[in-house]
Each structure stands twice: as C-alpha cells, then as structure tokens.
Amino acid sequence: ATMSAGARVSMGLDGTLEAALDAAAPAMRGLRFVLLTFGNAAFSELLRNFCAHARRAGAAHVVGAVDVGAFELLRESGSPCYKTPLALATGYSLDGANSHSSGSWKAFAAMRTGEVARVVATGLDVLHIDTDVVLLRDPAPFCMCTAAARAEFGDASRFPCSALRAADVAVSSDNMGPSRSVAGGAAYHGAGTFNSGLLLFRATAAGRRFAAQWHRNVASPERGSRFWGKTSDQQASCDLLRLHRSRCEETRLHAEVRRAGVCSARGGRSYLMCGVHLSASRNLDHLPERR
C-alpha cells in the first residue's frame, strides 16, 4: 500500500529540530520561511487545530513540543515537530497561568526565545506564532512578497507587501481594526501594546541580532536594565522594539514609508521595523513607529 504523506513525515521525526525542519521543507516550496509555534500536551486541541489549518493552508510550519506527550501526539498526526530542551528536561511542567510570573513560565519564555533565535540562525525567516491562531491562508507569499503576492498586494494596493519584505523585524498589535488603522495612519495601533503572538524575524544580520537580543534579555537580563524584572517574553520584545525605535530616531537614520505606514531605518546598528497583524478577515495592519 502507498504510504500517506503524514506517515512518511512521522517516520522521519526523531525529536530533533533538524528532522522537523526537513519535514517542513517541502511546504516551503523554495521559500526560506517557516511558522514556528510551541505547546504542551495540555493544549492538545489547540495544537491539533493549529496544525490542521496550517496543513490546509499549505503553510510550512514546525511545532516545538514542550513535553514528550505533545511530541508523540504531533508525530502521530504527521505534523513537523521536535522536542524542545524543556521536553528533554526531567520533571518540567509548564504553569500556563495568565500572570506569566511563575518559574516554570519564565523557563518556557527563555526556551521559546532561544529556539526562535536558533531557527533564525539557520538562515530561515521565522514567523513566531501562537497556537491559538487560525490560519485561513499561507502567510509566506505575503511575508516574502513573492511574484504571486505582488499581483495581489502590489505597491498600488491597500496593503503592499514590499514594505514588509524590507523589514528585519515585524510585530503584531493587540489592537484590532485594519480599516481604522489605515485611515488613521496606524497612529493608535503603533502607540498601543505590541503582541508577540505574531513576531516576524528575518534571517538578516539585523534580524538575527534582534532575535539573539530578545532571548538574552529574557533568559539572562542585565541587573538594573529595563529588562530586569520583566515577567514575560512579550514584555521584553515590546521594550526591545521600542528601544531600537528610539535609536533609529536619535541617529536620524529613518525614512518613513507613508503609504505602507512603516518606519524604516538603515545603517549602523539600527533595525528596519514594522508591525503586521493578520486578522481573521485576512487583512493586515502595518504599524508605523512614532516620532
């Protein structure tokens, strides 16, 4: 009998990140882009739902299993997955309380940021994404601004993909409403809370540095720094994005791309940044940096 695609993927998954990336490679279709999410067996329904929609959309994705139960569940379903360092740790159990202040949560945040930086370092553009996101279409063409995406999201369109393609780092917002954002130049959204549920890292030198800094400021923040005492990786990413935005402003290495609502910066240690929010209506918000 012919072996199913899921069964073939399952056979190749040995728990390593390398095997999971190999399993996800066919769905990349030549694009160096992958979705990366994390979860444990307690959230098995969310993990199944995320992977089912990702497969249906044809999106290249990898799940970092936080425990062995999650890995076995995902491997059985043929979803590209691997065992994170926490899944290999003896006695670790994730406390998912909303306070995000427990020792187990901080260990998870340190692991997650480190794994994101690790995958970006392999040369892949990574969209870090929460497992409760439901994908209606593959975000890779837009994020990579492929020829097909430019036909739909060209420079004359409402949401041109070229501005996002130029960004080293992109972040989503807690504020909803693409239409209002476009009408108002995204001023309200850009001043609001950034959300690490969608974080795009390019495998550029600046993107890799940012990912490494994110991990360092979560796992081992310098005492007395603005990152000391933060309880979550989202807080650290928000502060880091705003820190580099300020550096961009201070060095005057910015050029605002008004049509797309993106503040860009080139040269030195600055970063080209924008924010993107993928809503259920398939629209996108571009979040400018405030001056």
Mean predicted confidence (pLDDT) in 111-126: 96
Q: What is the C-alpha R_g of the chain?
A: 19
Q: What is the pLDDT of residue 109?
A: 87
Q: What does the pLDDT read at residue 165?
A: 86
User: Which pLDDT value is given to residue 177?
Assistant: 67
Q: Are 44 and 70 in contact (CB under 8 A)?
A: yes
Q: Which residue has the tokens 């040269």?
A: 267
Q: Is the pLDDT of residue 178 over 60?
A: yes
HSE at residue 253, side-chain half, CA atoms within 13 A, is 15
3-state secondary structure of 263: strand
List C-alpha distances in Å: 191 to 185, 208, 240: 11, 25, 14
Residue-averaged pLDDT of the chain? 77
Assess whether pLDDT exceeds 90 at residue 270. Answer: no
More confident residue, 163 or 279: 163
Of 268 and 114, the one with more pLDDT: 114
Question: Among candidates 104, 85, 110, 82, which has minimal Cα distance to 19?
Answer: 82
Say if residue 72's pLDDT is above 70.
yes
- How many Å apart are CA 116 and CA 36, to the nearest integer? 8
Given a contact cutoff of 8 angstroms between Cβ atoms, the answer to whether 201 and 126 are in contact is yes
pLDDT number for residue 285: 33
